[in-house]
Amino acid sequence: MVTPAVLALQDGTIFDGTSVGADGKTIGEVVFNTAMTGYQEILTDPSYCRQIVTLTYPHIGNTGTNSEDMESSRTHASGLIIRDSSMVNSSWRSERSFSEFLRQGGTVAIADIDTRKLTRIIREKGAQSGCIMTGDANPDTAVAHARKFPGIAGMDLAKIVTTNAPYQWCYGTFFGRRPRILSRRIAPYHVVAYDFGIKRNILRLLSDLDCRMTVVPAKTAADEVLAMAPDGIFLSNGPGDPEPCVYAIAAIREFLSTGIPVFGICLGHQLLGLAAGASTIKMKFGHHGANHPVQDLATGKVMITSQNHGFAVDESTLPDNVRATHRSLFDGSLQGIEFADRPAFSFQGHPEASPGPHDLKALFDRFILNMDARKLTTRRAVI
Amino acid sequence: MPKRTDIDSVLIIGAGPIVIGQACEFDYSGAQACKALKEEGYRVILVNSNPATIMTDPEMADAIYIEPVHWTVVQQIIEKERPDALLPTMGGQTALNCALDLAREGVLEKYNVEMIAASREAIDMAEDRELFREAMTEIGLEVAKAVIAHTLEEALQKQPEIGFPTIIRPSFTLGGSGGGIAYNREELELIVGHGLEMSPTNEVLLEESLLGWKEFEMEVVRDRNDNCIIVCAIENVDPMGVHTGDSITVAPAQTLTDKEYQRLRNASIEVLRKIGVETGGSNVQFAINPEDGRVLVIEMNPRVSRSSALASKATGFPIAKIAAKLAIGYTLDELMNDITGGATPASFEPSIDYVVTKIPRFTFEKFRGANDRLTTQMKSVGEIMAIGRTFQESLQKAMRGLETGITGFDEITTTIENEADRDRLRDELRMPGADRLRYVADAMRLGYSIDDVARLTRIDPWFLAQIEDLMATEQQIQDAGFSGLNATLLRSAKRKGFSDARMANILGVAETAVRKRRLEHHLRPVYKRVDTCAAEFSTTTAYLYSTYEEECEAEPSDRPKIMILGGGPNRIGQGIEFDYCCVHAAMALRESGYETIMVNCNPETVSTDYDTSDRLYFESLTFEDVMELIHKEKPKGVIVQFGGQTPLKLARDLEAAGAPIIGTTPNSIDLAEDRRRFQKLVDSLGLKQPPNRTASNKAEALALSPEVGFPLVVRPSYVLGGRAMEVVHNQDDLASYMDAAIDVSNNSPVLLDRFLDLAIEVDVDCVCDGEHVLIGGIMEHIEQAGVHSGDSGCSLPPFSLSDEIQRELIAQSIKLAKALNVVGLMNVQFAIQNNVVYLLEVNPRASRTIPFVSKAIGIPLAKIAARVMVGESLAQQGYVNQRIPGYFSVKEAVFPFVKFPGVDPILGPEMKSTGEVMGIGRSFGEAYAKAQLASGVILPRQGNALLSVRDRDKDGAVELARLLVACGFDIVATHGTAQHLAAAGISCRRANKVREGRPHIVDMIKNGEIDLIVNTTEDKQAIVESQSIRSEAVRRGVTYYTTVAAGVATCKAIEHLDNVEVNRLQDLHKEVAA
């Protein structure tokens, strides 16, 4: 039996569709993502906390879901908006159908609506607060709910999605290679990763590069981390506005003073920028897709990247000792920074992909090189 | 890195004639390349032998050569033009091969011409099976396992490396004949034994079977800074085993997870780097095992291809244009994405928010005896693309636009009554043919599960589930009945792509009834834009498709606008020529200040390039789709006479529904096509037609035949491209035709016309503005009457007609144009027998020869006609006088017989050619020689010429034999012909016909003793007997002609083989205008 569902936006726009996920109601910031693959990775990316994701590609769920493509332990997006939910799941890797995945994950989802119209509204008006209600919902109620959502600006969401306690990670990437579990004894690099909403593929890729990973909660104090004697510190991606994360910014400032290599991605990049003294801005509707060209300013090379952010570091506010390394070719916005005087750098997009192209994988190697260089100098210092 | 300044001029090689596997997509890519390079200020030199292309229009390049794409000729062009660079990647395999020849022969080195975009080494590595395998292995990619064997023992010894099932492919056999699949040792021995025997090199390839694997294509673009982007991933609905060109394909890929997709993406980029494609577009094909995800690289093309044209249309990203700019030094980040008005750079990967489906179009009905199962050898002659918001919508839109008479999933097998029915259905599912998806639907209607069908077809269950759901909706519609067809059901069906006509079929009501109901419920499509970015950025480019959604983005303007209806998918009889006319109409009317709106669904064409017209609607050409557009756009005029039969068939219904059709009225078109009405007109004008009658059954036909007289041409009353048309010589043949013709003509009457034997056939093309007539040209056919005009070579100006006859032809054409009130183009076909002019038919619309004539005389007839249709008279346009060039232009047809072993390659009233070439020369002989070379015929210069002609041609054979002897040939003739020649004093060797005992002429052909064959036949019996001669000639590549006239023309051509001159088209046009 088909259950109806309604999507309401803060501007009063109503979309009638059908429910393809869990029953109930959800509110959040409605954003769109133009990636044509990777719906499971997107839904389980903690960066989508408090966001209702519109996938612009019409057919979603075709390949079902599997345990390998989880980017965290559960779905984080507040809701899902699509044109068509697949009737069958066709993939040799599939373990569960997409609709089961949505229902069991408690994800409210609406299908059969004009997602292109919705995307155009968001493009013109900027990200909208929205509400999905399933069953015979009153559209006016849904609009009222949508308007109650305060918006993401000013919201510290990292503290909500972060891990409660530190944990170790030792699993490498699994696809296209033999699954590898890293032996902690032989892993030469110890990396402490701040979990602001970390995607698992970051951990997997660093594991592949022989990093022992210790994942710590967002509010872990700098001295606790330093006590773990890390070779490098990683600042993860995550949801929400970076500005309220003052605790993290303070910790990062301490790390910068130690000379320990720091690498940040997405929210981690914004936090590094803030720690350096730059400021961040809320974008109109952000970057959400897997086809964004980013130029490496040193080589001129263009890389196609995965992007998912609603805030950005304002390049004009960068201090003298921090320089821009990458820029978006879509809108010229800042995509990467590095410190001139210490081994710290960060990237706004998602070099870990998942979903998306792998063009920027080399950034992880760079982090490793920075750690190698530091090891050499400290060893020399000891000798 | 900006563009290169060390080169000033670039030579682009075109793809030559349209053949199976190489169609008008290369006109699209070549035209884009020309525009792109001219825009950058380079001097562009172009060679292409295909006159029906936009790229050979005089304004497309600085120097255009309509000359054979053969290295010897291109060498002359290089010598004359001295280009700095050669761009070989825009003209398909033909251009690549020609470029390799030029490199190998040292021409490029001699004239210091740099090959850009792809190097000789890169092309070699991509093309050579072994080099490619090694390269792939080096970068860690797998290719299908394969071994080569020269003996059965070797095959048996090596086969275990491959495992069963094993694919066996004999080397160098026509159409891959002699191969097969072995599932066990016994079959292996049998097939290998046979294959070794069939192969001229006694070689077979044993290959791992990938039957049933999924197939994907990645379209990649790379620049010289090593920036790589994937423009599109295409998934084949058909599994491996069906040639990609024959596969139904979908974009983007539907059944890949992100991990798998990225693996293909990385692999494709690695392949480009390894092969060394420096810049430009390439495509890489992969097979994936659906059981475990194992990935194999199948092949790569280091050039733009059919699929890159499809990918360009599917995404809105102009691959060829970008590739051309990358070739001259730009990098992707320096180029802008036009479709977003420069808001985004070209260095990104298109994201699409709709589904694109391509369905190939086949014409097996034209080739009796051809194997109509889809295999690794491409057989389709055209394709349709449709865009929908869902797969179901795009699939059903594509099906109804195919113009094979279906409106959607029309039923074929409706019941299974016995085991034989069940077997037939199962075979159709297991061994796919043109209608495989309809059989899938049939099976589902008959209760097969998705699993059952998947097991038989190896089509991915995702696609099958979509079809199953469509069948459930069909059932719902049927259950509801017409009275139950309410707004909810209608909306749901429309969103799944059901046409009004299909619903009407299901419900047993008229299409108009469903249409009326739909409009009562205010259900109309909206139009969405193709923007490369899934609406992330706004676009002003009007490239649109229809869908049933909420928001419409069409935003029609209130400017005066003209809508041009295109020709739909290519097929034999309707191809690139009509697209050329549509494009010209768009260009001319744009210049005249109109907003132009193109409607078409053929992804290979220039017309469906989004910047050819102001607005492009990528839509199927059905009444429903066109009327919705007219409702949305409210054009001032609709042009139906340029797109061939496709829009013409719609004309009357459109007019009745209120569409403002401009130019010659549908009534006049009908007058020319309706036999009885036309006859009255001809009589009133005092013109002559061959005796003719109309018969509605066999008895009547036999009774009327003496009144017409034998031989006669018999055909169903309405035909396309000479479909089911035959020349019959006696009552017996007529009777057997009538027995067979019933199912072709559905009991509609057949037409009997006196066949004018040994007559000269002539085409006249002209433009009329209602008052004055501009004669475009008179084309004298080379083959005598009886060969379809599309298959016959022709010469402009005529090479043997007297001035008096020519004046008569012109006078009659003018009379007809005025009597029919033609406003626009008109084509007339005449036959001349014993100096009497007979009128064969009149087509008040664009003809296939319009581009040829336009190129020959230097006047753009289609443009002039388009302006005439909006009210600009010929006088206003300054075109009043006929131009007769002082050089000869010869058109020659190109045939696909090599792809259809088993089909008799004889010419007749049914059209079989896929494309055409043009040769220009100072004499008829020179022009004909070039046309032959361009069409791929290598004329022999000496050796043995075999003559075997029917009685009626015996006199002609004497003349021909004299000419051949003068050229230095020795004559071999069959007994009847030999006797006649001997009587005329020509000595010749005698040879046995096949039935006369061995050694016979087929033995001689097989032994390589024959270099040229002229073989004419008449009645059915003789045609059957002589088929082995023609078939063997095709197989061995021996030049053969089935008319004496062509043989005579060849003698004239042979004299010129060594001294052809290359001519710049623009110079020729200047000359003819002077």
The predicted model gives B765-777 an average pLDDT of 96
Residues A51/A311, Cβ–Cβ less than 8 Å: no
Q: What ipTM was estimated for this complex?
A: 0.97
The catalytically annotated residue of A29, A71, A338, A352 is: A352
Q: Which of A338-342, B211-215, B785-789, B984-988 has the highest mean pLDDT?
A: A338-342
Residues B735/B698, Cβ–Cβ less than 8 Å: yes
Helices (H), B521-575: none
Q: Do A330 and B331 touch (CB under 8 A)?
A: no
Residues A378/A230, Cβ–Cβ less than 8 Å: no
Asked if A91 reaches chain B (Cβ–Cβ under 8 Å), the answer is yes
The predicted model gives B726-742 an average pLDDT of 82
Instruction: Provide the pLDDT confidence category of residue B744 given band limits of 50, 70 and 90.
Output: very low
For Cα atoms B1007, B1009, B1011, give the angle at the middle one, nearest 5 degrees: 125
Asked if A184 reaches chain B (Cβ–Cβ under 8 Å), the answer is no
Nearest CA among B774, B843, B844, B815 for reference residue B683? B815
B639: number of CA atoms within 13 Å, CB side?
Answer: 38
How distant, in Å, are the alpha carbons of A253, A296, B915 from that of A257?
Answer: 7, 27, 74
What is residue B377's predicted lDDT score, i.e. its pLDDT? 82
What is residue B746's predicted lDDT score, i.e. its pLDDT? 46
Which residue, among A54, A55, A88, A308, would best test binding to B if mutated, counting the most B CBs under 10 Å from its CB?
Answer: A88
The predicted model gives B944-965 an average pLDDT of 92
A71 carries an active-site annotation: no
What is residue B178's predicted lDDT score, i.e. its pLDDT? 73
A183: pLDDT strictly greater than 90: no
Residues 6 or more apart in contact with residue B858 via CB below 8 angstroms: B58, B883, B885, B1068, B1069, B1070, B1072, B1073
Asked if B344 reaches chain A (Cβ–Cβ under 8 Å), the answer is yes
Asked if A284 reaches chain B (Cβ–Cβ under 8 Å), the answer is no
Asked if A35 reaches chain B (Cβ–Cβ under 8 Å), the answer is yes
A381: pLDDT strictly greater than 70: no
How distant, in Å, are the alpha carbons of A308, B373, B736, B914 from that of B365?
Answer: 54, 13, 18, 14
A383: pLDDT strictly greater than 60: no
Contacts B488 to A, Cβ<8 Å: none
Rounded to two decimals, the pTM is: 0.95
B1020: pLDDT strictly greater than 80: no
The catalytically annotated residue of A49, A245, A266, A288 is: A266
Edge-to-edge strands of the sheet including B146-149? B146-149, B204-208, B166-170, B180-182
Asked if B492 reaches chain A (Cβ–Cβ under 8 Å), the answer is no
Token pair 């001159």 is found at B1061
Q: Report CA torsion sign: B1058, B1064, B1067, B1073.
A: positive
The predicted model gives B120-144 an average pLDDT of 92
B411: pLDDT strictly greater than 50: yes
Instruction: Specify the DSSP class assigned to residue A195.
Output: E
Structure tokens at B840: 């064969």
Asked if B225 reaches chain A (Cβ–Cβ under 8 Å), the answer is yes
Structure tokens at A374: 């530091």
- What pLDDT digit, counting tens, does each position of B41-98 carry? 999 999 999 999 999 999 999 999 999 999 999 999 999 999 999 999 999 999 999 9
Helices (H), B17-90: 25-39, 71-81
The whole-angstrom separation of Cα B50 and Cα B70 is: 13
The predicted model gives A228-251 an average pLDDT of 96
- What pLDDT digit, counting tens, does each position of B467-506 carry? 999 999 999 999 999 999 999 999 999 999 999 999 999 9
Structure tokens at B291: 């059981």
Q: Do B348 and A87 touch (CB under 8 A)?
A: no
- Cβ burial of B559 (10 Å; 0-12, 13-18, 19+) is exposed
Q: Report CA torsion sign: B338, B344, B345, B346.
A: negative
- What pLDDT digit, counting tens, does each position of B711-727 carry? 898 887 765 566 778 88
The whole-angstrom separation of Cα B385 and Cα B250 is: 9
- What pLDDT digit, counting tens, does each position of B220-273 carry? 999 999 999 999 999 999 999 899 999 999 999 999 999 999 999 999 999 999
* CA closest to A303 among chain B residues: B227
What is residue A382's predicted lDDT score, i.e. its pLDDT? 60
Which residue, among B449, B536, B546, B550, would best test binding to A if mutated, counting the most A CBs under 10 Å from its CB?
Answer: B536
> Which of B132-141, B321-330, B707-716 comes out lowest in average pLDDT?
B707-716
Q: Which of B105-119, B188-202, B1034-1048 has the highest mean pLDDT?
A: B105-119
**Burial state string for B720-742 with b = 16 or more CB within 10 A and e = fewer than 16:** bbbbbbbbbbeeebbbebbeebe
Instruction: Provide the pLDDT confidence category of residue B736 given band limits of 50, 70 and 90.
Output: confident
Contacts B266 to A, Cβ<8 Å: 358
What is residue B727's predicted lDDT score, i.e. its pLDDT? 85
B671: number of CA atoms within 13 Å, CB side?
Answer: 16
B762: pLDDT strictly greater than 70: yes
B742: pLDDT strictly greater than 60: no
The predicted model gives B672-684 an average pLDDT of 89
Instruction: Provide the pLDDT confidence category of residue B517 given band limits of 50, 70 and 90.
Output: very high
How distant, in Å, are the alpha carbons of B137, B147, B162, B427 from that of B166?
Answer: 21, 11, 7, 21
* CA closest to A112 among chain B residues: B549
Residues B886/B20, Cβ–Cβ less than 8 Å: no
Residues B896/B20, Cβ–Cβ less than 8 Å: yes
Structure tokens at B310: 């499809």
What is residue B211's predicted lDDT score, i.e. its pLDDT? 85
What is residue B368's predicted lDDT score, i.e. its pLDDT? 82
Mean pLDDT of chain B: 93
Nearest to A291 among B226, B349, B390 (CB): B349
Q: Do B291 and A357 touch (CB under 8 A)?
A: no
The residue among A323 and B187 whose pLDDT is bigger is: A323
The whole-angstrom separation of Cα A194 and Cα B817 is: 83
A76 carries an active-site annotation: no
A376: number of CA atoms within 13 Å, CB side?
Answer: 6
Backbone angles phi, psi at A263, to 5 degrees: -135, 125
Beta-bridged to residue A302, according to DSSP, are: A295
The whole-angstrom separation of Cα B717 and Cα B702 is: 17
3-state secondary structure of B964: helix
Instruction: Provide the pLDDT confidence category of residue A111 given band limits of 50, 70 and 90.
Output: very high
Contacts B292 to A, Cβ<8 Å: 92
Residues 6 or more apart in contact with residue B310 via CB below 8 angstroms: B25, B234, B249, B251, B356, B358, B383, B385, B603, B604
Hey, how many other C-beta atoms are within 10 angstroms of the C-beta on B909? 22
Token pair 């903690």 is found at A46
Residues A131/A145, Cβ–Cβ less than 8 Å: yes
Instruction: Provide the pLDDT confidence category of residue A100 given band limits of 50, 70 and 90.
Output: very high
Q: Do B535 and A119 touch (CB under 8 A)?
A: yes
A29 carries an active-site annotation: no
What is residue A279's predicted lDDT score, i.e. its pLDDT? 97
What is residue A25's predicted lDDT score, i.e. its pLDDT? 97
The predicted model gives A339-365 an average pLDDT of 97
What is residue B745's predicted lDDT score, i.e. its pLDDT? 47
What is residue A176's predicted lDDT score, i.e. its pLDDT? 59
Residues 6 or more apart in contact with residue B344 via CB below 8 angstroms: A329, A330, B336, B337, B532, B533, B537
- What pLDDT digit, counting tens, does each position of B3-16 carry? 999 999 999 999 99
The residue among B850 and B902 whose pLDDT is bigger is: B850
Q: Report CA torsion sign: B941, B944, B948, B951.
A: positive
